[in-house]
Amino acid sequence: MTSVPNSGAVLPPTEAFLENQTVWATAAWFDQNGNPFIPAAASYRLDYIVGYEQGVLDSVQVLAWTALTPATTNTVVITSAQNALVSATGSSELHQVLFQCTDAAGNTNYARGLYNLVRVAGG
C-alpha cells in the first residue's frame, strides 16, 4: 500500500487482509514535479469507514493523528490490534490509512490507502 500525496496522486487499488493481521503502509512524498521531497511535517491516522461510504467524515477513528518523522518515505505498521474488526456483524469492513504532509510553504496534502478486513471464519 503506497500513498503519494500530490496533485497527481495515484493510489493503489483496495487490498484485502484477514482481520487481526499486521499490515505495513508506505507513503512516498513527491513535489508537483514528481521529485521526491522531505515534507516539513507528516502524520497519519487509521479509520474504519462506516457503511462503505468511503468518506473521511463517515468514519470511526481507530488511531488518532500520529506524527511521523519527515523523510522522503514513511512506513507505518498497522498492528494486529488496530486491524481488529470494529463491527460485530458482517463478513468484512473497509478501513483506511490517511496520510497528511505539509510542505515548507504550509500547504497540506492528503492521501489515503483503503483496505478491506475480512472476518476469519469462527472468529
Threshold 0.85, pTM exceeds:
no
pLDDT tier at 3 (50, 70, 90 boundaries)?
A: very low
Cα separation, 15 vs 47, in Å, equals: 15
Q: How confident is the model at residue 6 (pLDDT cuts 50, 70, 90)?
A: very low
Nearest Cα to 116, choosing from 12, 3, 17, 8? 17
Domain ranges of the chain: 2-118
2-118 under CATH 3.30.530, yes or no: no
